Amino acid sequence: MSCFPALFGIKASQMQKNCILLPLLPREFLKRLKIKKIYRGKLFSATNTPGFSIVVSGVGPALAGDAVLYLKESPCKNLILFGSCGLVKEKPGLSIASLVAPAKSHAHESFSQLLLEKNRKPEVSYPERKLFQRLMEFGQNHNLKEVTCATVSSLKLEEKMRRDFIKSKVDVVDMECSAFFSACGFSGIKGAAIFYISDIIKEKPFYRNLDSLSRIKLNQSIERAADLLSAFIKELTKHHDKSIS
């Protein structure tokens, strides 16, 4: 007997071919997609909308990675991670509320290694190439920017690593992406990611309240991302691109 319904709140067979994975479910995203009900399992939550399924994994690489591994049991074939990220350094085109898509992610997933092995060279994981290319082409009209990501396991230590991130040409940091890409590759699921920038390391840190204008821009960015993802998945379904589907 499959443990899928107990973990996700719905049966594996109810999952659709195209899915979105969220560490957290922002209120603006919920409203924009008119999601009325989400089913809660022991670890994850899930629901269906016309054209795609949504899974809420919880924050962190282990939960995101496990969600992907379990989704291998379902009809899911294309999976997009959507969440927030921190900007390493503000630059033209990249600031609070910008939408970005990682072309690769450096894996700093272990807290102990992040704390004790400062010179360790991280593994790098990647999105599925054709899905990522298709996403970037579609995202041009939505001002979607390509970035390099680092997945970290500590919000405190990321501040101390900022200089190293700049040196390594890392643009943004998150807490799921590298594990998500790795799990997708292992499971045979085509994966890519879209983030909205919610803070800037040290300059506008996550624990400081945003000014009202930045908060409005951030909420609008989440709504824009919901529109982008919905339209992109409809495009995939419409064209039945064999290289993607």
pLDDT of residue 243: 41
* Residue extents of the structural domains in the chain: 4-239
Residue 114 has pLDDT above 90, yes or no: no
- Asked if 18 and 77 count as a contact pair (C-beta separation under 8 A), the reply is yes
Query: Cα(first)–Cα(last) distance of the chain, in Å?
Result: 28
Q: How far apart are CA 55 and CA 100, in angstroms?
A: 20
Structure tokens that stand for 99 in this block: 């939408």
Averaged confidence pLDDT in the chain: 91
Q: Is the pLDDT of residue 209 over 90?
A: no
Q: How far is Cα 139 from Cα 145, in angstroms, rounded to an integer?
A: 8
198, 206 Cβ separation under 8 angstroms: yes
- CATH fold of 4-239, please? Rossmann fold (3.40.50)
With cut-offs at 50, 70 and 90, classify the pLDDT of residue 1.
low
Distance CA 185, CA 188 (A): 5
Joined together, the tokens standing for residue 113 give 């290694």
pLDDT digits (tens, 9 = 90+) for 10-26: 999 999 999 999 999 99
pTM of the model as a whole: 0.91
Pairwise CA distance, residues 23 & 96, whole Å: 19
CA distance 201 to 206: 8
Going by C-alpha positions, the residue among 157, 71, 86 that lies closest to residue 118 is 157
- Mean pLDDT of the 21-36 span: 90
